[in-house]
Amino acid sequence: MVEFSGKIAVVTGTSGIGRAAAIALAKEGATVTALGIDPKANAELAEIAAGEALSLAVRQADVADEHQVAAVFEALGREHGGLDVIVNSAAVHPYGTVVTTEHEIFLRAYAVNVGSIQLTGKYGIPLMEKKGGGAILNIASVQGHACQKNVAAYVATKGAIHALTRAMALDHAKANVRVNSISPGSVRTPILELAARTFDGDDADVEDAFRRFGAAHPIGRIGEPEEVARLVCFLASEKSGFITGADYRIDGGLLAGLGVA
């Protein structure tokens, strides 16, 4: 019997870690709804799901928009009567300091990276309560613990995710809703490709940049989305039933040492 047989899951973000998590949960038997704003990424994930005959539906949605999120969860409630897993992976990554970042961009980063977690919780947790509990995984970042320069908005949101995860875990523990966060290091995603092009220019050799980023990690490489997805599946499963309110780093040892010779 597969781990998530009969379980209902929602994943936000249809590329990178979100895509990998949606596919992994579906392969383990879950019925998954993936929400994404990028039509190209949505179409690619839908094609994978169809090709592998996965129980994985892809819906176009801006997860920072309350009306769109509410509509998705109301439909899930009507169709399935409850919910078991939420994976909050949708994110944007603006570059800039607090001086150079436009305020609208700063607010949009919060709306997507943090506000979407509040919205999926607002409409998803009552559905979890109907099934006697559930698991929520919030994808944060090592940059919520320690950060680069010129990423003020992004790191502010990732630190907020760590704090919000703790608050949600405490508030909903009695309803048997577990809430944890995952903080990846450098992982092969569109956001990491954006980093390569930001640092090296639009004509960057992305794979060369990835090798350089990987060399900064003691393990000597960047991570793969599927590796993060395996941690998602563990933390969403009954195997982790005594774990809540925690942050799990999956960073190839990046934060284990000091950057000095």
* 141, amino acid identity: S
State pTM to two decimals: 0.96
Instruction: Report if residue 2 sits inside a domain.
Output: no
Number of domains observed in the structure of the chain: 1
CATH assignment of the domain containing 58:
3.40.50.720
Element (H, E) at 25: helix 16-27
Please report, for residues 37, 49, 135, the alpha-carbon distance to residue 69 in angstroms, rounded to integers and kept in the order given.
12, 22, 18
Instruction: Report if residue 231 sits inside a domain.
Output: yes
Catalytic residue (choose from 95, 110, 123, 154): 154
Q: What is the pLDDT of residues 123-142, one digit of tens each?
A: 999 999 999 999 999 999 99
Instruction: Report if residue 257 sits inside a domain.
Output: no
Instruction: Report if residue 246 sits inside a domain.
Output: yes
| Contact predicate 87/117, CB 8 Å | no
What is the structure's pLDDT at 204?
Answer: 84
Domain with 66 in it: 8-185+223-252
Q: How confident is the model at residue 203 (pLDDT cuts 50, 70, 90)?
A: confident
Instruction: Report if residue 90 sits inside a domain.
Output: yes
Instruction: Report if residue 207 sits inside a domain.
Output: no
Instruction: Report if residue 243 sits inside a domain.
Output: yes
Q: Is 154 a catalytic residue?
A: yes
Instruction: Report if residue 201 sits inside a domain.
Output: no
What is the structure's pLDDT at 1?
Answer: 45
Rounded Cα distance between 106 and 237, Å, is 34
Share of the chain above pLDDT 90, in %: 93
Distance of CA 79 to the CA centre of its chain: 24
